[in-house]
Amino acid sequence: MSCGLGHNGRPAKHRKGDVVSNESLANLLKEERRFAPPADLAENANVTAEAYEQAKADRLGFWAEQARRLTWETEPTETLDWSNPPFAKWFKDGKLNVAYNCVDRHVEAGNGDRVAIHFEGEPGDSRAITYAELKDEVSRAANALTELGVQQGDRVAVYLPMIPEAVISMLACARIGAAHSVVFGGFSADAIAKRIEDADAKVVITSDGGYRRGKPSALKPAVDEALTRVSVEKVLVVQRTKQDVAWTEGRDLWWHDVVGRQSVEHTPQAFDAEQPLFILYTSGTTGKPKGILHTSGGYLTQASYTHHAVFDLKPETDVYWCTADIGWVTGHSYITYGPLSNGATQVIYEGTPDTPHQGRFWEIVQKYGVTILYTAPTAIRTFMKWGDDIPAKFDLSSLRVLGSVGEPINPEAWIWYRKNIGGDTCPIVDTWWQTETGAIMISPLPGVTETKPGSAQRALPGIAATVVDDEAREVPDGGGGYLVLTEPWPSMLRTIWGDDQRFIDTYWSRFEGKYFAGDGAKKDDDGDIWLLGRVDDVMLVSGHNISTTEVESALVSHPAVAEAAVVGAADETTGQAIVAFVILRGTANAEDESLVADLRNHVGSVLGPIAKPKRVLPVAELPKTRSGKIMRRLLRDVAENRAVGDVTTLADSSVMDLIQTKLPAAP
Ligand code: ATP
Ligand code: MG
């Protein structure tokens, strides 16, 4: 892969944020490793290369066929209504119940005894829930919400740890046609209040607390504080840790009382395909969170299809585990809706990967015989930092497909993942998508694609993605620019909740008729797509646009570096100067001056002198969102000696203090 943002055949404009041509940086970072799909997987794959052809010949026909994966009360006759772009309606005359599709129909098909959820609590408690039991639980919760006055079209906020009740709550809402708005269990009272207010939620479902890092961590106090500013009718409280809670009589209700006494009989009503299913606020990596609205039929079609295709799920034999939090879109589409609509058996783990020891994930893989693992680059880089010997202690031979999501995966992290977790045989699917896209859009198919470390490669069958230049022209192979989606897709966001204009402005105004994803990307000579990070993060150094992703990947390819975050800081001579924050691997010494020089030179030799960071700062932690993404804007504040901006969506806000106190003064 070449560095910089490629050559688009036009003179560069050199405006900050533009992703323009850059010949001096072209073809500097070469990634030539290739991995063919394992023969047996290819032979038995759920989806073959033919799907691309089929979808190309008749895209809407292809999606109409995928919609038949679901059980509809009224089959749709119209696939897409795009008469009022960018407001799409998919399968609009169809009617279905999403929860019925995720639960009841598997029981009716005779699979009630299949485990739906293997829950693993952080303290080591576990619970297996079959589809038949899940049906009872979801029915009870649906009856409870109805008793609390929740009706079709209402909104319910969910603020829970990673426990089965999170999934049950989401499905109970879906079952009665209410939209859920899940708020990360790590978010503050302020974030909860804003989300409750924006969505005008009627009920909040929370818990006393959850287990994190070996101890109970309270959740309800944040809800109580939020509710001093905004109001809801009822708060339903799951008892997880049995810690003390403050109680507001008349408003607060225990889940085990109210849900516990309900009947397990509940008849799911069919709703229109465009019935709102959920609102999810984006993680806020770049600014004020947006309430992304997803609806039912199209969303479930694509969540189900992509889960089947990208992970090659065989529901009778696979044990699937997605390590995401339910508060992130990955938890929505690839814990709740995709896997359950497909009748999967999956693991849900409550806690952190290093509790009580750094091998916890691998112990879980071994315990449940996990066959498909879906995690994030941030986790993979952390495991690299902890050392190869940790996963080596466990039997990971059950694994057959590995997935990655959330950020570009550095080629070295990809190789580490394949070798140390995947036994050098598992295909890796690097899946690009967003809260807004609802489901995976660009990814290898494990039985089809010859994979390339660091590339998400190709739009899935039925999806139209490409890379364009400033003038909205598609760049040729080898070119770089902006990632866009050129045709509507079933699980696309329908709007930003309550703000149609912001929906149009944010996604549909930059390039006429195309969805602007906000990510920089490049096409290689085979036409495969490489994601280069957010357009907002692109650095402009001496007139050259340089992607943060590529400098970070160059740093991670040095044996001493586990993780890197790179920002452009204002610089009088060069416009912006590259400042790199690095987390070192195992034994490397942060005080070693020669190591810093070595890292700078390493980047220079991999990417070219222009990409050589001006400063390299070893740090113990990086600021990350709860979903594990690096918050570069905060590092930019540090690098430019400014007061640090809004840290409310950080997983751990003390990290910024730590980084600032460790920092040497700017040279
Ligand atoms: P916000 O939009 O509020 O700033 P966010 O973009 O982090 O938050 P998400 O929707 O969870 O919220 O993340 C989507 C983004 O994550 C993508 O736009 C892209 O930048 C990045 N991303 C996700 N998967 C990949 C991947 N496989 N490769 C590269 N980047 C990825
Ligand atoms: Mg985003």
555: phi then psi, degrees, rounded to nearest 5: -65, -45
How far away, in angstroms, is 516 Cα from ligand 2 center?
Answer: 11
DSSP characters over 387-454:
-THHHHTS--TT--EEEE-SSPPPHHHHHHIIIIISTTTS-EEE-B--TTT-S--B---TTT--B-TT
The more confidently predicted of residues 173 and 25 is 173
* 290 C-alpha to ligand 2 centroid (Å): 9
Instruction: Look at 86-90, 98-102, 141-145, 594-598 and tell me which has the smallest mean pLDDT.
Output: 594-598
Residues 235-250: tens digit of each pLDDT = 999 999 999 999 999 9
Q: Whose CA is nearest to atom 13 of ligand 1?
A: 434
d(CA 408, CA 435): 16
Pocket test for ligand 1, best of 463, 629, 648, 650 (most atoms within 8 A of CB): 629
SS3 523: strand
User: Taking Cα atoms as reference points, which of 157, 151, 201, 200 lies closest to residue 178?
Assistant: 151
User: E strands of 492-573, at which residues?
Assistant: 495-496, 515-523, 529-534, 539-541, 544-546, 561-571
CA atoms within 13 A on the CB side of 23: 4
Please give the structure tokens belonging to residue 79.
């696939």
Sequence-distant (6+) residues with CB within 8 A of 591 are none
pLDDT digits (tens, 9 = 90+) for 439-469: 999 999 999 999 999 999 999 999 999 999 9
Full DSSP string of 147-210: HTT--TT-EEEEE--SSHHHHHHHHHHHHHTPEEEE--TT--HHHHHHHHHHHT-SEEEEESEE
**Range 282-291 average pLDDT:** 73
User: Residues lining ligand 1, judged by CB closer than 6 Å?
Assistant: 282-286, 289, 328-329, 405-408, 430-432, 434-435, 456, 517-519, 531, 534, 627, 629
Q: CA-CA distance, 563 to 466, in Å (whole number)?
A: 29
Instruction: Take atom 18 of ligand 1 and give the residue whose Cα is closest.
Output: 434
Q: Is 558 annotated as a binding residue?
A: yes
Give 287 Cα–ligand 2 centroid separation in angstroms. 9
What is the 8-class DSSP label of residue 650? B
Residue type, 500: D
What proportion of the chain, given as a percentage, has pLDDT over 70? 93
- Minimum-distance ligand to the CA of 329? 1
pLDDT of 18 strictly over 50 = no
Determine the pLDDT at residue 287.
62
What is the mean predicted confidence (pLDDT) over 27-51? 89
pLDDT tens for each residue of 410-426: 999 999 999 999 999 99
pLDDT bin (cut points 50, 70, 90) of residue 187 is confident
Give the nearest ligand 1 atom to 549 CA: 29
Which residue from 184, 306, 434 has its CB within 8 A of the most atoms of ligand 1, so it is best to mutate? 434
Residue 9 reports pLDDT greater than 80: no
- Report residue 389 as tokens: 């010997």
β-strand 495-496 against 291-295: which pairing, if any? antiparallel
- Ligand 2 centroid to Cα of residue 293, in Å, is 14
CA distance 165 to 205: 9
Which residue(s) pair with 143 in the sheet?
none
pLDDT at site 651: 66
3-state helix, strand, coil in the chain (%, to 5): 30, 25, 45
ipTM (interface predicted TM): 0.99
pLDDT tops 80 at residue 12:
no
Q: What is the pLDDT of residue 593?
A: 83
pLDDT confidence of residue 29? 54
Give the model's pLDDT for residue 628. Answer: 81
Is 431 annotated in a binding site? The answer is yes
**Whole-model pTM over 0.80:** yes
**Which of 438, 211, 222, 399 is closest to 318 using CA atoms?**
399
Look at residues 160, 144, 434, 430 and name the one whose alpha carbon lies nearest to residue 280: 434
Residue 655's pLDDT band (boundaries 50, 70, 90)?
confident
- Lowest average pLDDT, out of 210-224, 311-325, 490-504, 611-625, goes to 611-625
pLDDT band for position 657 (cuts 50, 70, 90): confident
pLDDT of residue 648: 67
pLDDT reported for residue 7: 33
Measured in angstroms, how far is the CA atom of residue 434 from the centroid of ligand 1? 5
Q: What pLDDT score was predicted for residue 254?
A: 98
Q: Which of 49-58, 487-496, 548-557 has the lowest mean pLDDT?
A: 548-557
Residue indicated by tokens 């829930």: 129
Bridge partner list, 181: 157, 279
Q: Is 260 annotated as a binding residue?
A: no
Residue 5: pLDDT band with limits 50, 70, 90: very low
Position 284 scores a pLDDT of 64
Is 407 one of the annotated binding-site residues?
Answer: yes
Query: Which atom, in ligand 1's list, is nearest to the CA of 436?
Result: 10
Is residue 662 scored above 90 in pLDDT?
no
pLDDT in the model for residue 608: 85
Determine phi and psi for 253, rounding to 5 degrees: -140, 140
Give tens-digit pLDDT for 374-422. 999 999 999 999 999 999 999 999 999 999 999 999 999 999 999 999 9
| SS3 readout for 204-230 | EEEECEEEECCEEEECHHHHHHHCCCC
Average pLDDT along the chain: 92
How much is the average pLDDT of 64-68? 98
258 marked among binding-site residues: no
- Region 256-267 average pLDDT: 98
| 430 Cβ contact partners less than 8 Å away, ≥ 6 residues apart | 403, 404, 405, 409, 414, 443, 444, 451, 454, 455, 456, 457
**Model confidence at 3: pLDDT above 50:** no
pLDDT at residue 283, rounded to an integer: 65
Count Cβ atoms within 10 A of the Cβ of residue 589 and give its class: 0-12 exposed, 13-18 middle, 19 or more buried. exposed
Mean of pLDDT values over 614-623: 91
